[in-house]
Amino acid sequence: MTPAVKVILIINVVFYILTYWVTPLISLDGHSDWFLNFNALHPIGYSGFALYQYLTYMFMHGGWWHLFFNMWSLMIFGNAVEQQVGTSRFYFYYLMCGIGSALVNQLCTFIGIIPPSQLVGASGAIYGVMAAAAFFFPNAKLFIIPIPFPIKLKYLVGFYTLVEMYLGITSIDGVAHFAHLGGILIGAIILFIWKMQEKKRSYSSNYWSSSSSYDAHYDKDESIWDKLKKNFTSKRTPKMRVTNVRETNYADHEYNQRKAQENEEIDRILDKIRKNGYQNLTDSEKALLFNASKKMRGEE
């Protein structure tokens, strides 16, 4: 598992153990659900509501199967998404989808679409992660039991979105369908903002690289004297150079030193990918990594 997915999974399991195993043992008054009530998100204006619950509610679950399916989905989709965007960005994305899904659910309660109730579970954040997986890997295929053929991820997430919309409007089953839709919505907004920022960085990088190329070409314009000097010196017969052992050793040392520097730079780029994702590399870093991979394959 990737680092953020592992930490999130551990926190959810710890909260589950505290809720259903530890709390009943230490409760002296017989009320074993106080930990759940303390961390679940209460409707705004009702007794027990607190701002910290926008964070804690997504680590609480209504039972074992609720926890299992959420964490299973997190491992399926979260690892790929975290590798794409980086660990720090994944933490931000996951928490924002969870908080945003709660706000959407409470908005639906406020305008009367759904009745007020406590909210628990990581489902809103998980649906946001699913949306990100469909965004980055739309044509990845999954087998969903009992369907006997693979389904592309973009169609699967689209189908889930439509089902959640239908169930949210027509059914009263105790499931926060609008919180699921809220996770997808907030996730889509964050992904759109990131995409626009990436395009802006790419445009700025291309602009400055083209400007610097123009400046370099302009600086290389030769004067008449330089051209005459070049023509004169080019007609001279070049002298044969005898390379001795010392010069050869120096050349080998220089090559090894340059090769070591290239390897250090590649290691730095790979470490940057692990921490921040491939999309945060600069154009020059991507080019260096591409050229290095071609050399390793023997294309150069």
- How far apart are the C-alpha atoms of 173 and 177, rounded to whole Å? 9
Number of domains in the chain: 2
Any idea which residue has 């992904």 for tokens?
191
Alpha-carbon distances, residue 149 vs 5, 142, 145, 159, 162 (angstroms): 28, 9, 9, 15, 20
Judge if 157 and 282 occupy the same domain: no
* Range with lowest mean pLDDT among 41-45, 113-117, 160-164, 266-270: 266-270
Regarding whether 176 and 34 lie in a shared domain, the answer is yes
Considering the chain, what is the average pLDDT of its residues? 83
Same domain, 40 and 131: yes
- Check whether residue 24 and residue 152 sit in a common domain: yes
Task: Determine the structural domain holding residue 290 and report its residue range.
Answer: 243-297
Per the domain annotation, does 120 fall within a domain? Answer: yes
- The model's pLDDT over 70-88, given as tens digits with 9 standing for 90+, comes to 999 999 999 999 999 999 9
| 279, 149: one domain | no
The confidence score (pLDDT) of residue 286 equals 79
pLDDT digits 0-9 by tens, 216-247: 444 444 444 454 445 544 444 444 454 454 55
As a whole number of angstroms, the distance between CA 52 and CA 34 comes to 16
Do 185 and 255 belong together in one domain? Answer: no
Q: What CATH number has the domain bearing residue 175?
A: 1.20.1540.10
Does any domain span residue 107? yes
Whether 234 maps to a domain, the answer reads no
Tell me, yes or no, whether 282 and 133 share the same domain.
Answer: no
The residue out of 170, 195, 220 marking a domain boundary is 195
Residue 22 and residue 129 in one domain: yes
Question: What DSSP assignment string belongs to the chain?
Answer: --HHHHHHHHHHHHHHHIIIIIHHHH-SSS-TTHHHHHHSBPPTTSTT--TTHHHHGGG--SSHHHHHHHHHHIIIIIHHHHHHH-HHHHHHHHHHHHHHHHHHHHHHHHTTSS----B--SHHHHHHHHHHHHHH-TT-EE--TT-SS-EEHHHHHHHHHHHHHHHHHH--SS--HHHHHHHHHHHHHHHHHHHHHHHHHHHHHHHHHHHHHHHHHHHTPPPHHHHHHHHHHHTSPPPP----HHHHHHHHHHHHHHHHHHHHHHHHHHHHHHHH-GGGS-HHHHHHHHHHHHHHHT--
Residues 247 and 190 both lie in one domain = no
0.75 surpassed by pTM:
no
62 and 168: one domain? yes
Q: Does residue 184 sit in the same domain as residue 278? A: no
Choose the final residue of a domain: 195, 225, 257. 195
Same domain, 270 and 147: no
Is residue 275 situated within a structural domain?
yes
The whole-angstrom separation of Cα 63 and Cα 123 is 13
Q: Is residue 201 part of a domain?
A: no
Domain boundary at 195, 225, 258, which? 195
- Mean pLDDT of all residues in 86-100: 97
